[in-house]
Amino acid sequence: MTIPEPIRNMKHDLDVNVYWGELDGREMDFSRPEDRIRAVKWYINSVRKAFYDKGYEHLELGGFYWIAESASTSSDILNPIGEYLRGLKYSFNWIPYYSASGYDRWDEFGFSAAYLQPNYFFDTSVPSSRLDDACRIAEEEGMSLEMEFDENVLYGKADRLRSYMEYFKEYGAWDFRNLAYYVGRDAVRSMKNSSAGSIRQLYYDFCDWVVTRPVRDR
């Protein structure tokens, strides 16, 4: 489940820190780290209650995901949040963008796991060496990786998705690392229903790539 970042200031007035609301009869002042942490704990508890009140039979709430993709504005509150979640037996996960502030300190911030975004698929000016670098960094920093694509896979970017599949296999991420998947809009179904045979084949190759990963058996 996603945790939104409690931002210190209002977007349009950087001098305003008291804008979020009250807890236990006191206005939260987001210039104070302790108030930002209290707000996050309130959010976590509210999500847990809403989830368990539903009585889902086939869903489990296993962890939380910190939505901010850089630690530049939240490094002072992450450890207490991670400690709180560990006490509740939940994982605390992060998906920083490539070269994001603090990506190499993810474990110091109290995250259970961090998935590095290569940010290769979307920008055609980024060379395939980015995938080399991302895989190497993930190995050096003990990180997992994110697979990324959207509906543009149908419009000239199929080879970029294939590059993720190839590099992740070459570097062992396919075999041994947990992966996150960012799939924009309706990309997978659009691949399956494409009139282009090469795109439909990519759909089947991608599905096979996902379901045959050895890590799934461990």
Strand order in the sheet with 2-3: 2-3, 63-66, 91-94, 113-116, 144-149, 179-183
- What pLDDT is recorded for position 138? 98
Domain ranges of the chain: 1-116, 118-218
Residue 217: name the closest of 186, 171, 176 by CA: 176
Mean pLDDT, the chain, rounded, equals 96
Residue 192 tokens read as: 């399956």
Per-residue pLDDT of 33-61, as tens digits, reads 999 999 999 999 999 999 999 999 999 99
- What pLDDT is recorded for position 217? 64
pLDDT band with cut points at 50, 70 and 90 for residue 162: very high
Longest dimension (CA), the chain: 62
Amino acid in position 137: I
Residue 187 tokens read as: 């990309």
Taking residue 140's Cβ as centre, other Cβ atoms within 10 Å add up to 9
pLDDT band with cut points at 50, 70 and 90 for residue 10: confident
C-beta of residue 97 within 8 angstroms of C-beta of residue 119: yes
SS3 content of the chain, % helix, strand, coil (to 5): 45, 15, 45
